[in-house]
Amino acid sequence: MADAKKNTFSAHARAATATGLLALSLGFTPAYAHDELVSTNPAADTTLEQAPSELELTYSGDIMDVAGANQVRVTNAAGETVTEGEPEADGTVVTQDLATQETDDTYTVTWRVVSSDGHPIQGTFTYTVGAGAAQSTEPVASEETEEQQPQSAGPLTAASQGMSTGAKMALFLAAAAAMMGAAFVILAKTKKRK
């Protein structure tokens, strides 16, 4: 009978250990990087002979088509907006129609989209048509920089409203430790009764 009790305890201990290890291993999933802008048409910091009729932004992952979440604004050197309508997301490409631009100028593109992981990403770049603006504008970064990292932006996803990834991980680890501790206490009490 002692062997049966020992085998039962041993089986319970193995099951509790396996459950705890599985729970811990599920919590350590790889961190995924946010999508990023990979190309633009017109290209950033280029000079064009004629003004484009639309702007295309291509990203490393699909862009979510959430009403009002994706924004593209193109302004001339005087700060006047030359975008028409709302941007359209189709997979990894966001297209923005532009008004007819009759004069040479330097244009600043400011964009903000919701990446495939639900987090907004944003950036800015410039392009020039013809000789550019009479007064040159200060160059702006053509790719997302550390300062332009995604920021929480309202109720886009449940994850963006809740806890940070680190807080979720700490909570998960605490819960896993509590489950393992409870399993060992139950096993110890079961062993004492038998």
Residues 110 and 169 in one domain: no
Residues 78 and 122 in one domain: yes
Question: What residues have CB less than 8 Å from 131, skipping those under 6 apart?
Answer: 104
100 φ, ψ (degrees, to nearest 5): -65, 130
Provide the pLDDT for residue 149.
40
Instruction: Kindly report the CATH number assigned to the domain that includes residue 107.
Output: 2.60.40.1220
pTM over 0.75: no
Residues 88 and 140 in one domain: yes
Q: What is the mean pLDDT of residues 66-95?
A: 94
Number of domains in the chain: 2
Q: Return the higher-pLDDT residue of 145 and 184.
A: 184
Q: What is the mean pLDDT of residues 122-145?
A: 68
Residues 169 and 85 in one domain: no
Would you say residue 64 has pLDDT above 80?
A: yes
Q: Which domain holds residue 142?
A: 37-149
Distances (CA, A) of 31 to 12, 164, 169: 33, 13, 12
* Averaged pLDDT of the chain: 76
Q: Return the higher-pLDDT residue of 61 and 143.
A: 61
Residues 85 and 142 in one domain: yes
Q: Residue 123 is which amino acid?
A: G
Would you say residue 90 has pLDDT above 80?
A: yes
Would you say residue 69 has pLDDT above 60?
A: yes
Contact by Cβ (8 Å): 37, 59: yes
Q: What is the mean pLDDT of residues 10-22?
A: 68
Would you say residue 29 has pLDDT above 60?
A: no
Residues 52 and 126 in one domain: yes
Flag whether 154 is in a domain.
no
Lowest mean pLDDT among 57-66, 127-136, 165-174, 182-191: 165-174
Bridge partners of 81, per DSSP, are: 75
Would you say residue 191 has pLDDT above 50?
A: yes
Distances (CA, A) of 93 to 82, 136, 158, 185: 20, 30, 25, 55
Contact by Cβ (8 Å): 24, 55: no
Would you say residue 70 has pLDDT above 60?
A: yes
Q: Return the higher-pLDDT residue of 164 and 25.
A: 25
Provide the pLDDT for residue 171.
58
Would you list the DSSP string of the chain? -HHHHHHHHHHHHHHHHHHHHHHHHHH-PPPPPPP-EEEEESPTT-EESS--SEEEEEESSPBP--TTT-EEEEE-TT--B-EEEEEEEETTEEEEEE----S-EEEEEEEEEEBTTS-EEEEEEEEEETT--SSPPPP--SS--GGG-----SSS-HHHHS--HHHHHHHHHHHHHHHHHHHHHHHHHHHHH-
Provide the pLDDT for residue 67.
85
Residues 56 and 97 in one domain: yes
Lowest mean pLDDT among 16-20, 45-49, 56-60, 69-73: 16-20
Contact by Cβ (8 Å): 106, 133: yes
Provide the pLDDT for residue 140.
46
Question: What residues have CB less than 8 Å from 110, skipping those under 6 apart?
Answer: 71, 72, 73, 74, 75, 122, 123, 124
